[in-house]
Amino acid sequence: MTKAQLVKIVDSRIQNMATKGVYYPRRLKPKWDSLSKINEKLELFEKYLNAETSSIGFVRLMKVNLPEKTLESIIIDNPNCCDLLTENNIQAKCLAKFKKYKNGVEYLKSKGIE
């Protein structure tokens, strides 16, 4: 996977993460759309994943059992993309976020991760 491919995946997720009555990425989407360079976009993506606390969007999407719409699920679905990020333990942080929620644990089990 290349950086451009990862940015394309993240872009698609951000553009499609809005869920009527649940969540709309009011802060994230305009910020993401304003960036033009691949490295800037990857830095923003990494910043969101690296946060110690779960984002509002993550929490809301988990409550309605839509873990596949979260940014963190990109790391679960594409573990080889971690090589393109600067943070070494980003996958562990994403796993920890999912494990805090019943729906997250079920999602990880469905992906073969315990």
What is the Cα–Cα distance from 94 to 74, expressed in whole angstroms?
10
Q: How many domains does the chain have?
A: 1
Residue 52, pLDDT score: 84
Range(s) of the domain holding residue 57: 3-18+27-110
**pLDDT tens-place string over residues 5-57:** 999 999 999 999 999 989 999 999 999 999 999 999 999 999 999 988 889 99
Contact 69, 17 (CB under 8 A): yes
**pTM of the shown model:** 0.89
Question: What is the SS3 string spanning 28-69?
Answer: HHHHHHHCCCHHHHHHHHHHHHHCCCCCHHHHHHHHCCCHHH
Residue 86, pLDDT score: 85
Of the chain, the percentage scoring pLDDT greater than 70 comes to 100
